[in-house]
A = this chain, B = another copy of it.
Amino acid sequence: MRYSRQRELITDIIKNRCDHPTADMIYGSAREMEPNISLGTVYRNLKLLADEKEIITLETEDKKIHYDGDTSRHSHFICSKCGNIIDLFKPAKTPAEIEELGLSITGEKCIYYGLCNLCANETIE
């Protein structure tokens, strides 16, 4: 992957925020430094960075992809009222430990990734 000023800027923006911005929010920030940057470039680089696992994507109920520059293993808490996304840092918290933080859990969505039995046993790629 070749260097590009735009990609470095986008990476910096994501890594230096503690919220979980959408592509549009990142575009807004990026334009402050790089007024001519285009939305397409932002999307292209976000996809690249996610593919390279330099950033994490969060698919939420607002139907926009949120990005997280922290790739360490941690989970998230989304406020049902304001929609704010809060990091739940490792070590992994149990529901009880999360509630001790003052967050009352009303629901959860946990998705694990990997290969299913069928795909894992396929000999031909």
A54 CA / B75 CA spacing, docked (Å): 25
B-contact bits for A83-125, CB 8 A (1 contact / 0 none): 0101010000001001000111111111111111111100000
From B78, B105, B112, give the contact of A77 (CB < 8 A). B112
The prevalent SS among residues of A at the interface is strand
Is A59 close to B, CB under 8 A?
Answer: yes
Bound: A73/B110 CA distance, A: 10
Interface residue count on the A side (C-beta < 8 Å): 41
A2 on the B face (CB < 8 A): no
A23 to B88, CA, bound (A): 32
Q: Which residues, 46 to 98 on A, are CB-close (under 8 Å) to B? A: 56-61, 63, 65, 73, 75-82, 84, 86, 88, 95, 98
Please name 9 further chain A to chain B contacts, defined as beta carbons within 8 Å, in addition to the given A59-B61, A78-B112, A80-B113, sorted by A numbering: A56-B109, A58-B109, A63-B65, A76-B111, A76-B112, A77-B111, A86-B116, A105-B114, A109-B110
Closest 9 CB pairs of A and B: A75-B110, A79-B116, A59-B59, A81-B119, A107-B113, A110-B110, A104-B114, A106-B114, A105-B114
